[in-house]
Structure 1
Amino acid sequence: MEVTMKHVCLFALLLLATEVVNGAGECGRVPVARMAFQMAPCASAAQDLQVQVSSACCASIQKMAQNPGCLCAVVLSDMAKSVGVKPEVAMTIPKRCNLADRPVGYKCGGYTLP
């Protein structure tokens, strides 16, 4: 059976549609709310620039900063807002953790990662 470009494109479109149906989003298949829950160690540091960022928070941010779209979605999520996260403060956490590989300049809503 000969595989044509038409069949390859159709297969790719079906895979993409399956990902959308299965809930793949900013954080992959993990819901943003669940990722926000994983950021609990950062709650106080995301509300006040004067609060020292904990090592637990920096460990969580280091993983999440590898996917800046997910980090952005978490910071701007309803769950984050409900616990008092200030996006303009939360966006400074990767820098406050001194992460060398942080996504500098990434635009997130009206905010930019420093």
Structure 2
Amino acid sequence: MKYICFLVFVAILGIAVLNIAEGAGECGRSSPDREAWKLAPCAMAAQDSNAQVSDSCCQQVKKMGQNPRCLCAVMLSNTAKSSGVKPEIAVTIPKRCNIPDRPVGYKCGDYTLP
């Protein structure tokens, strides 16, 4: 009987762990598409390398850049693509914001953060 109880406990624990792991992606429990909306102030700067990068954009990029995997997933998300974001330009925003601790050299799909 103890053996059966132990197996049931292990099975329940395994299911719980799988459910938790499934909910955590590059941006934690939030999807990259949902996180992309936070970078709305960066829309013009992510389409035109000559556009001014706003302070509000830089603040959001700095915050999101603490997790480079999330920042990368957001830049390559369907929401970003449908908004006209050009990934080759978007990856330059952390540098254009002069963020000193940006993830220089981080591979983001086919792009590398300068």
Structure 1 residue runs of 5 or longer lacking an equivalent are: 1-9
Local SS of the residue matching 2:57? helix
Amino acid of the residue matched to residue 20 of structure 1?
A
- Quote the residue 2:80 is aligned against: 80
Q: What is the CA distance between 1:47 and its match in structure 2?
A: 0.3
C-alpha distance in 2 between matches for 1:19 and 1:96 = 37
Secondary structure at the counterpart of residue 39 of structure 1: helix
The TM-score, its normalising length taken from structure 1, stands at: 0.84
- Counterparts in 2 of 1:25-64, with a 5 A limit? 25-64=25-64
CA distance in 1, matches of 2:102, 2:87: 16
Identity %: 63
TM-score by length of 2: 0.84
Greater share of residues in helix? 2
Aligned: 1:100 with 2:100: yes
The CA deviation string for residues 1-57 of structure 1, in whole angstroms up to 9 with x for no partner, is xxxxxxxxx7xx836423233x21000011111100011000000000000100000
Which structure has the larger Rg?
2
Aligned Cα root-mean-square deviation (Å): 1.7
How far apart, in 1, do the equivalents of 2:20 and 2:111 lie? Answer: 28
Figure out how many residues of one structure are paired with residues of the other and give that number: 103
Q: What corresponds to 1:6 in structure 2?
A: none
Where does the alignment leave 5 or more consecutive residues of structure 2 unmatched? 1-9
Q: Whole-Å Cα distance in 1 between the matches of residues 48 and 72 of structure 2?
A: 18
Matches of 1:16 and 1:108, distance apart in 2: 28
Matched, 1:71 2:74: no
Runs (4+) of structure 1 moved beyond 6 Å? none
Question: In the aligned structure 2, how far is the partner of 1:95 from the partner of 1:66?
Answer: 14
Cα distance between partner residues in 2 of 1:33 and 1:110: 19
Supply the distance in 2 between the matched residues of 1:111 and 1:72 (Cα, whole angstroms). Answer: 9
